[in-house]
């Protein structure tokens, strides 16, 4: 079990990629907090993690809300004793229209979810990684953040910013034994 004794926090962990990552981490020995806005999905995943013999908890939070993120991170550290790994998976594109035909509030929300959510979670977990003597931040990016595409500017811009944020943060914390990478 390569992750035995580790504690992971997975955002967007109620379904899809986040759920798969959470279960894979648990199979490798990690205790896992799965987070999302909707409690039902993450409660089910936490129960699956427990069936695998690991501690699994559900942490409800809107990652676009810094205060909720900070509370969720603190609750995770309190309940599971530490945090070693965070996977910033929550995100998505909400609009596929041209600039000018789009809704500015929806456009901004895509940035909040994908970029600010990644920043808020990373920032909130850093003290815990430092206390653990190091750790890992994995930001789920997208090939869309590395190429231009019409009618998808909010998502492409957000994921491009996540890519650059990942690179900047990695340079800031590598000497503290904290690895920061993007997975696309």
Which residues are the active-site residues? 155
SS3 content of the chain, % helix, strand, coil (to 5): 50, 15, 30
| Burial 127-153, CB ≥16 within 10 A → b, else e | ebbeebeebbbbbbbbebbeeeeeebb
Alpha-carbon gap, residue 19 to 34, rounded angstroms: 8
DSSP one-letter string for 92-138: -------TTTS-HHHHHHHHIIIIIHHHHHHHHHHHHHHHTT-EEEE
| Residue 29 near residue 53 (C-beta atoms within 8 A) | no
């Amino acid at each position: 079990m390569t992750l035995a004794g580790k504690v992971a926090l997975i955002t967007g962990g109620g379904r899809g990629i986040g759920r798969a990552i959470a279960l894979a981490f648990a199979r490798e020995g990690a205790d896992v907090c799965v987070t999302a806005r909707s409690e039902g999905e993450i409660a089910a995943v936490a129960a699956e993690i427990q069936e695998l013999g690991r501690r699994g908890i559900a942490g409800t939070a809107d990652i676009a809300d810094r205060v909720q993120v900070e509370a969720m991170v603190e609750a995770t550290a309190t309940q599971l004793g530490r945090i070693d790994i965070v996977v910033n998976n929550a995100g998505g594109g909400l609009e596929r229209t041209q600039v000018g035909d789009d809704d500015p509030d929806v456009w901004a929300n895509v940035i909040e979810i994908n970029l600010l959510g990644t920043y808020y979670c990373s920032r909130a977990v850093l003290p815990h990684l430092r206390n653990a003597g190091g750790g890992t931040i994995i930001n789920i990016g997208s090939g869309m953040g590395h190429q231009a595409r019409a009618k998808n500017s909010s998502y492409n811009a957000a994921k491009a910013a996540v890519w650059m944020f990942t690179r900047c943060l990695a340079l800031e914390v590598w000497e503290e034994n904290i690895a920061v990478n993007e997975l696309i």
